[in-house]
Amino acid sequence: MGVTVRFAPSPSGYLHVGNMRLAIINWLFARRESGKFWLRMDDTDPERSSQVYADAIQHDLAWMDLDWDRYERQSERLSAYEVAAEKLKASGRLYPAYETPEELGAKRKAQLARGVPPLYDRAALALTIEQRRSLEASGRKPHWRFKLDSGKVEWDDLIHGPIVFEAGQLGDPVLIREDGRPLYGFSSVVDDIAFGITHIVRGDDHITNTAGQIQLFQALGGALPVFAHLPLLIDSEGTKLSKRLGTLSIAALRDEGIEPLTLAVYLSRMGTSDPIEPLDDLVTLIHEFEFRRFSVSSPRFDLAELRRLNARMLHAMRFEQVEARLSSLGLSGVTPGFWEAVRANLDRLNDAELWWKVVNGPIKPSIENEALLAEAAGLLPGGEWDTGVWSAWTSAVSVATGLKGKALYMPLRKALTGQDHGPDMKTLLPLIGRDRICKRLAGEVA
């Protein structure tokens, strides 16, 4: 059977880098195995789920070039969860419990005070039918718990290796809330069975959940998938990332000018033995993907490192890769020569707009040494200009004025570009052109 994986975000907020890392790794694995990548919205909580966020998630994935083979929404599958719940009730594995959150909190507090794990005590299993009816008559609505079988739960995790739990140390998980809404741990397993998910790749904060879900897979008669639990990303201070950290949302990084391929390379190679270096496309990431390369340690997300990689990616990009996008920025008529001249000075693609204006004007020159500029204007070479004209021109100006180094080059750069930094002047000079240079040397806006 072929590989089928799923990325199952809750549309309760915008995707952040931690979410996207899971999406990319699932996608790379599926594409490497010629398998299927499914996008599933875990949206059974109407109070927290929003179509705005669901649309944003799809937009973010499309921006990253992560296509999906099938799209599902859990809010449209409620009947399937009802059928599965009835099956579990009939087998005695799903039972009603009537404690309020306050009562459960008091039980946990008392257990902790006695130095025992705060696990559910299964008091609801001792209730008689009459007691249940009495509680319901008083207005109590039950939540439904999954009765775990005693014994060991174990699996061979693709990241962490062999993992073993004693089921008796887990506590019976709640699968259905008082309002009848299925919780993630239940609906997720039902869907994974129904859709034939072969591998579940998610954060290692779900490891304990997996132990209980394995028994749920078995109780529902589903085939057990292979599990891979990736360490969660941490920030520069060692804190786990949250999807509510807006500066690390995919939308915020996109607005900042981070390239989608930069983000794909960075997120998919964090925590692995692979070098984080510029690549031309996603194909290399697909071919080289292997779970064995991932460490069990939490990788540190460094925004400064991501920005540096973004600059390196841009510096390595060919003109054909950016031509259409430069045109969409309003840089009509952009040429390969312009891109070759400026790309090494870009941190983000939008930075090219500044240098396009420098080349084509109008800009206000920065005048520091009028005498030097007047002398330089008179020594401008004629004829066709190439990358050698800057050296010939400045050599002649140096002989005429006696100026050298920064005292010579900086006033010229500021007058011609309005900037004190930027691309090599030997490549900019032919692009700016003789007429515009003459005007700028004279202090004119051109």
**How does the average pLDDT of the chain come out, rounded?**
94
Domains of the chain, first to last: 80-176 (3.90.800.10), 319-360 (no CATH), 370-441 (1.10.10.350)
Query: Beta strands of 24-169 (E only): which ranges?
Result: 36-41, 70-73, 94-97, 143-146, 152-157, 161-166
- Neighbour count for residue 47 (Cβ, 10 Å): 7
Sign of CA dihedral 60, 64, 66, 67: positive
- Neighbour count for residue 108 (Cβ, 10 Å): 14
Residues 6 or more apart from 2 whose CB is under 8 A from it? 33, 34, 35, 36, 198
For 75-118, write each residue's pLDDT tens digit. Answer: 999 999 999 999 999 999 999 999 999 999 999 999 899 988 88
- Tell me the residue type at 81: Y
**To 10 degrees, what angle do helices 370-378 and 405-417 make?**
80
Tell me the C-alpha distance between 135 and 120, whole Å.
19
Low-confidence ranges of the chain (pLDDT < 70): 1, 241-247
How much of the chain is in helix, strand and coil states, percent to nearest 5?
A: 50, 10, 35
- Neighbour count for residue 405 (Cβ, 10 Å): 8
Tell me the C-alpha distance between 54 and 14, whole Å.
9
Give residue 236's pLDDT. Answer: 75
Whether 262 and 311 have beta carbons less than 8 Å apart is answered as no
pTM over 0.95: no
Sign of CA dihedral 387, 389, 395, 398: negative
Give residue 240's pLDDT. Answer: 74
**To 10 degrees, what angle do helices 434-441 and 405-417 make?**
110
Tell me the C-alpha distance between 33 and 415, whole Å.
57
Give residue 247's pLDDT. Answer: 64
Give residue 244's pLDDT. Answer: 46
| Nearest in space to 248 (alpha carbons), one of 66, 41, 60 | 60
Give residue 332's pLDDT. Answer: 87
Q: Is 95 exposed, middle or buried (0-12, 13-18, 19+ CB in 10 A)?
A: middle
